Chain A
Amino acid sequence: MKGDSRIDSLASKCVNCGSCLAVCPIFKARTKEYLSPRGKVYVLQRLKDLSLEKEPELMDEFTKSLFDCTLCGYCDEVCKSDVSLIDLFKKERKKAIERQLYPSLSKLIDSVKSSGNIYRMDNEERLDLWFDDLGEEFPDLSNKIYRDGKKASTGIFLGCVLSFRSGQLNIIRSILTILETIGEDYLLFGGEEFCCGHPLHLTGDVDQAEAVRNHNRTIFKDAGISKLVTNCPGCLVSFREHYNFDNIEIQHFSQFLQERWRDIEPFIDNRVISGISGENTGKKLVYHDPCELSRICGVRTEPREVLGKVARYHELEALCCGGGGLLRVTADDLASEVAKNRLIDTGGQDIVTCCPSCHEQFRSKGVRTIDIVELVAAAMKKDNKLQEM
């Protein structure tokens, strides 16, 4: 902090109005001023005159408080003083690694460094964990996995959560169903796909983040893709903000669906549409905006357009599920509390979203949660797999 004029400049713009406090999901969950965005910026504003840097324990506590944040971006959205709060917090977060405040974060970094994924698993498992389950359904699948010299126009980046978490299997199935049905020329990257670097960036470990990005850049180039599609908003943020692609278009899967709707529409089965609108469960379907998709990347209309074509749904105020910003790694209880608050808003209805982290958060609370790709894929098939969820 000392001498960091950029941080000084960002913090000094804050007029302490408190609009950010009013919308912060962490503040709502814990109601402590130091956990609000305003409280955190105010501490930065007082660093010098209170000589806080001479109090290492207090500074450690402060640095840790920056991880009590989902980086949902709502504070940035309501701030009229041009303070990029999440930019400010991300820059300060790296001190947690330097001071080894969170063993869980150090493990995460080591895991990506040694394994290429956040779960410290053999990276080949990215594919192996679900390939056997889906191999029979998609007989040509092995030809859609990247290996040296294999080319395609579209790269599908599944990301760590989708690849490794068993609860996400039907989402992968749905993605494949859509791609195969419309005859897309695509490749998955299997064991060659490394973590996108986003979690590392959130820890502040810039160097390690760049190392995994470089690996991914190499395989994207080798595969000759002109379009990279991911269903994970965190990966999307990483590609948009840090990969600096010249010739590769980046899309969230909802954007891909919207763009390719003309190709998808002929395969839509109307009978299925009525069945997945929640009528079979007696519940309404509510759309949950993933924060990183809607607030950070500004993707709001495409998911709604696609959703509107296959289901009747209800809007919700865009609020955080607690699954972002590495909060589940640093303070899982807090993440869980944020999720519970979000579920009060959803009123016990079925949730549709398009982010694996949001999906995991809600399902861990026993709430029926569906991804948009699952709805679209189910609408394309008569044997509706949604019923299994």
Chain B
Amino acid sequence: MDLDNIAVGANASIFRKVDPTSIVKIFYPSSVEEIKQAIAFARARNLKITTKGGGSGLSGCCTGGNEKRIIISNLRLKKVLEIDTTKGIARVQPGITPDELNKILPKGYRFRVAPSSRDTATLSGMISTDAGGNDAWIHGTMRDNTRSTELITATGDVLKITSDGVTCPANEKLAAELNALGFDLHDVASSHGTLGVISSLEVRISPGREAALQHGLLEFNNHNECGEAISSIIDKKLTVYYGETIIKGMETVRKKFRYKDPLIIVDIAESDVDAISNIGNYKKLGSEESEHLKQLRLDLPKMNPEHGVQSAVFEGYGFSGAILPHLGDKLDLLDEILVSSDLKPFLRYGHAPSVWYTGRNSRQEGLIMHARDIRPDMDGTTTYKIILEIIDFCKREGITPKPEHKYPYADSGKIGRLEELRKVLGESFNPFIVSSSVEDMSKLVF
């Protein structure tokens, strides 16, 4: 066993009990040619292929399950290939992070997708999970900020994929076949590494914000009120450039937290301040206080309780439409499930208003709530059963399970589409995403 084979299993999801002996070789390519060589290595040995970025995602797709496979890391693929401010694009290798990209963009320009893991998450990982961030309401998710990707297939063909379709000068027949299926960028978004290796992306960059902003805070008496307010912001299409909630549990990590949850931290266009003031108990914040709260929110996914350790057992819930005003009621039901399974609800926070996509390209608007719970010593099978129970609960109650980090295992629309495409593209990449059994997934639970 090689030490790197063990260490490469490290990732932020609960699915990190990776069997190191199932990994035949790890590649750290730094060019398209080296990616192709890695793919050829796998093809010659009939091995599966998993790509890994920063390992900050919560779907576990970077693990590749436990099939005999190679891992292709993108962490040496960090070059910026082109920046064109007139077109508003940056063309980059897949291993660059949002923080790294923003650091070198011309003054005033930003890449607008900002997940809390923006220091670690790589752009190809982000398109593979269709990551969003705290200003997704205004700027959209990764698919809305990507103009094209290049994807290398199991046969070594390099596809260029945009929202209009696919081109492949070296294999026009393959391109025609994929175009006949309507293959486009939305299919790559949230594909969880099942279609090929992303070798470059063209992402949108834009200069500073257009509107004058005010920092503010909305506080609520209860969670239903909070959900109602998010619903109103969405209905009125208010220009919330930054919208983050702290929903529950703040007192357990910050005993002297001066605000009471639930609350929403916002940066809102000054023209919409009157409108938001009518929605809830709104107060203007100074820059320093606003920054302090934003940093606190950013740190929550990594902060442990005083006793025990936080766990992302099932970290994401999407509340939209008619269920938003019943947010508190749904949270109570969820807590009942967790408590009856010996989990201790810990933190609830997230993006609101925000957007996510289900199926192939169905836009949802609402609250993306992240959850962290305290898990007792519990085996993988028991934990995974709880996960399945939570998914059933979500389906019953009209909640999107894992809206941001995605849970393809529970999105039959997306799974069906990936299966359709894999019939053409081959089934070498991350097959566990589309075909894992409960037993397979249970073994991965850490």
Write the residues of chain A forming the contact surface with B, with a CB cutoff of 8 angstroms. 12-13, 15-19, 21-23, 31-34, 36, 38-43, 45-46, 49-50, 52, 55, 58, 61-62, 65, 78-82
Contacts and interface: CB of A to CB of B under 8 A. Distances in A.
Interface string B1-26: 10110111111100011001000001
B119 A81 contact: no
A54 to B, nearest CB: 11
B120 A13 contact: no
B181 interface: no
A207 B16 CA distance: 38
B4 to A, nearest CB: 4
Given A16-B11, A17-B301, A45-B446, 6 more contacts: A18-B12, A19-B119, A21-B54, A23-B119, A33-B73, A36-B7
A81 B303 contact: yes
Nearest to B310: A15
Given A12-B309, A22-B97, A55-B1, A17 B7 contact: no
Contact of A62 (B3, B26, B117): B3
A58 B7 contact: no
B302 A50 contact: no
Nearest to B18: A46
Interface of B: 1, 3-4, 6-12, 16-17, 20, 26, 28, 54-56, 73, 75-76, 97, 99, 117, 119-120, 299, 301-304, 309-312, 446
B299 A80 contact: yes
A22 B7 contact: no
Nearest to B312: A15
A383 to B, nearest CB: 43
Judged by DSSP, the binding face of B is: loop
Nearest to A32: B4
A44 to B, nearest CB: 10
Nearest to A47: B6
A18 B52 CA distance: 12
Contact of B7 (A23, A40, A82): A40
Contacts of A22: 54, 97, 99, 119-120
Contact of B309 (A13, A36, A58, A78): A13
Cβ-closest 5 pairs across A and B: A39-B7, A80-B302, A42-B10, A34-B7, A18-B120
A336 to B, nearest CB: 19
Contacts of B446: 45
Contacts of A52: 6
Contacts of B309: 12-13, 15
Nearest to B17: A49
Given A16-B10, A39-B7, A55-B1, A81 B304 contact: yes
A16 B56 CA distance: 8
Nearest to B8: A33
Contacts of A21: 54-55, 120
A18 B1 contact: no
Nearest to A37: B10
A39 B10 contact: yes
22 contacts: A12-B309, A13-B309, A15-B301, A15-B310, A17-B301, A18-B10, A19-B117, A19-B302, A31-B76, A33-B10, A39-B10, A41-B10, A42-B6, A42-B7, A43-B6, A43-B7, A46-B6, A50-B6, A62-B3, A80-B302, A81-B303, A82-B304
Contact of A17 (B26, B75, B302): B302
A52 B28 CA distance: 25
B56 to A, nearest CB: 5
B397 to A, nearest CB: 27
